[in-house]
Amino acid sequence: MKRWTVFGLSMMSAAAIAGCAGHAIVRAAAPPVPPPMPTQLAARDSSAVQLGTALARVEQDSAADQTALDSLHERSPDTLTPPRTNVSVRGEDVRQEAENLFGADANATFDIDVTKFVGNRRVLEYLEFFQLDARDRFEIWLSRLGRYEGMIRERLRTRGLPEDLVYLTLIESGLSNTAVSRARAVGMWQFMSTTGRGYGLQIDPWVDERRDPFKATDAAVNHLQDLVQRLGSVYLAAAAYNAGAGRIERAIRRLPGVPDSVDDQTFFEIAGRRNLRRETRDYVPKLIAAALIAKQPSRYGFTDIQRLPPLVFDEVSVPDATGLDVLARLADTSVAALLELNPQFVRGITPPGRGVVVRVPRGRGAGVAERYADLPVTERITFVDHYVTYGQTLSTIAQRYKVTVTMLQAANPRLRAHALRVGQRVIVPMSGRVVPRGAWSNPPEPRVRRAWRRYSSVSAAPDSDGNTRHRVAPGETASGIAHQHGIGLTALLEANDLTMRSVIRPGDVLLIPSR
């Protein structure tokens, strides 16, 4: 890839920066910027509308992915779906087909051990699930493999890890960079914020590198390498990727006797004793099933997969706040293409006050750098994002930013004017005006229902996953509750999807993870 830097730029004075919301980078000795013409204003408004439409499509696609993933993770561990007559490969047919295909030659086909476990009842169930229940989405996920598989395999190979761990991305996120789980795990590799930051990923209101497929893959591969070295087994490491290494080690210690060594079979031993939560017990069977299909999809009825081509791009250094819609115009490409190349910019704009690297389609880097150097400061931002507060209506938001309701509706195609939600994002076209500093607001901190659910009664006895629940009493703090139960504060916060800024109130019920 090539990286291009925007040359000939200098910073304004501090006073100018304060007046221009931090995006006050101009070309050295640039002449005064003339007022925009009406046609220019219309083009900028249209640019913001294109961005809003593209973001809405991404959101809709991510929601469809999450529905399939939720169904995947919520399947009962105690029942198998009865064989169905419209399955292309069913039940015992699946077992025989897999054994015929992967019997003695499995090692030549896979670098994870599928041979020993291909007949596992849970593997068979997930084979059927991917072929039927999630077929439409799984086809899309298989096509997305073409985008990233080569890159992920290369990074796994460099670290000495099995390349077929690439298929973890199928069961984690369906290779969606914008996936957000109920537990607030984000991106293709589904990193929690604490773990992501621990592996060097930047996470703030402007940039979330958990959504960057390249940087997140580097972090995930490093994490997996650490887990394999710690646990001594690929399948135990995969389970620990889902549940945490400490939980897997505790489950191993609960096995009868003292094992001389651990291997992939150890995972199925601890999974059979129900010392792990359901999702973790099923994690490796899901991986094996996904790998079996992804390796040779036509044998399982996926005969028309159109693999997307790998992403190729140049890199351009952008010194200050600039909309991806503007950069798309400079690169002569679509807003959707820029969003796919740069999903880490969560607001569709590069952060104000600091330089970042933006990916543009291969061969466009030099042209974008040249055009950007000539771009007036008022044309770098076409919109701001507003987050709805209590009592606001579309009309009051339009009045605040001096735009029309029609403009807001055009830029937010999924917006329901009579059903605004507190914290909902609204894209506001700015018509070429300099964005005031006060217009940049941070998204509200998400609150997860599970952490605040109130129970009529709370049992101190551990549940099937070894967890207990604690009802908050007046005067208690999160750190005090963590100390009381002998766990770390970070573990308590992560188990309840909280942050250091979250507020707990008397009567709230917190999940106490097993030690």
Lowest model confidence (mean pLDDT) among 188-202, 419-433, 434-448:
434-448
Domains annotated for the chain, with CATH where assigned, are 3-60+312-439 (3.10.350.10), 75-300 (1.10.530.10), 449-512 (3.10.350.10)
* Residue 11: predicted pLDDT: 30
* Residue 39: predicted pLDDT: 44
* Residue for token pair 């800024």: 501
CA dist list (Å): 124 to 114, 140, 292, 485: 12, 21, 11, 40
Neighbours of 116 (CB within 10 A): 12
pTM listed for this prediction: 0.72
Say what angle helices 135-158 and 283-295 make with each other, to 10 degrees: 90
Check whether 46 has a pLDDT greater than 90.
no
Higher pLDDT, 347 or 28: 347
Give the pLDDT confidence of 202-236 residue by residue, as tens digits: 999 899 999 999 999 999 999 999 999 999 999 99
* Residue for token pair 């938001």: 397
Q: Are the CB atoms for 401 and 431 separated by under 8 Å?
A: no
Check whether 332 has a pLDDT greater than 90.
yes
Give the pLDDT confidence of 277-295 residue by residue, as tens digits: 888 999 999 999 999 999 9
Average pLDDT, the chain: 79
Give the pLDDT confidence of 485-515 residue by residue, as tens digits: 888 787 787 777 676 657 787 888 888 887 6
Mean pLDDT, to the nearest integer, of 158-162?
96
Lowest model confidence (mean pLDDT) among 39-53, 222-236, 357-371, 396-410:
39-53
* Residue 99: predicted pLDDT: 52
Longest dimension (CA), the chain: 81
Would you place residue 257 in the very low, low, confident or very high pLDDT band (cuts 50, 70, 90)? confident
Q: Which long-range contacts (CB under 8 A, 24 or more apart) does 447-453 make?
A: 447/502, 448/182, 448/183, 448/184, 448/496, 448/497, 450/182, 450/496, 450/497, 450/511, 451/496, 451/497, 451/498, 451/502, 451/508, 451/510, 451/511, 452/508, 452/509, 453/509
% residues pLDDT > 70 (the chain): 76
Sign of CA dihedral 224, 228, 231, 236: positive
Mean pLDDT, to the nearest integer, of 130-138?
90
